Each structure stands twice: as C-alpha cells, then as structure tokens.
Amino acid sequence: MVEVLFNITDSPKYVSTLTELRQGENLSTKLNLVLNDDSFIGYSYLFIFQLNSETPIISETIAPIDNIISYTLTNTLTKDIGVLKVEIQAFDDYDYLKKTAIFYFNIKPSLSC
C-alpha cells in the first residue's frame, strides 16, 4: 500500500511525491494527514472527494488517532481518468466548519484498462 503523507499546519504542506493515482486502484493508497499544529487538535474531520465534476462523495466523520487522520481510497474514487479533488474539513463540537484544506490527484489510465 502506498501512503500519502500531508502535514497539516496553518500552511498545509503536501510532502509526498505521489501526485497521481491509477484508474481503478482499490485499497492501494492511504491518505495520512498529520496534525502538526495545536490549532487543529480537538476537531472532528471528514473528507469530501470529487472526481472530475461528478457529485461529491462525503466520508463519515473521522476522529484523529495520535494526531493522524487516515483514509484508504477505494476504486469508487478512482473509477475514471481525470482529477480527484480531496478536501478535508474540520468541525468543532457545535458542527461549525473551522478549517479546510484541499489537495488534488491526477487519475491516469491503468495499464490494464
């Protein structure tokens, strides 16, 4: 499994060299968001995925474990060639949106397609 690491601070930094995924990949890529700033602690998180201009897919709420939020990508998110937009949102105890970060991956054709 390939792990994509993001360091989340007030200026999020993408620290992985992986910027593209393969069409149809299933359970082979894991997103790990490391919360390196105290201002990101204490929130609940969710992912919003949008492949090209399709309807966004929203994850269930995810709680950080040891200041890391992890999510494994499925082939539903890589079914077509194009661009996968990944947005992470942080909500407080009152369900108010407090922080957000957006990352993009290119979905390239699979060798088997």
Domains of the chain: 2-108 (2.60.40.3350)
What is the average pLDDT value for the chain, to the nearest integer? 84
Q: Which residues contact 51 (CB under 8 A, 6 or more apart)?
A: 77, 78, 79, 80, 82, 83, 84, 85, 107
pLDDT bracket for residue 91 (50, 70, 90) = very high
Q: What is the pLDDT of residues 35-50, one digit of tens each?
A: 877 777 889 999 999 9
pLDDT score at 107: 93
Q: Are 72 and 46 contacting, i.e. CB atoms less than 8 angstroms apart?
A: no
pTM for the model:
0.83
Identify the pLDDT of residue 82: 93
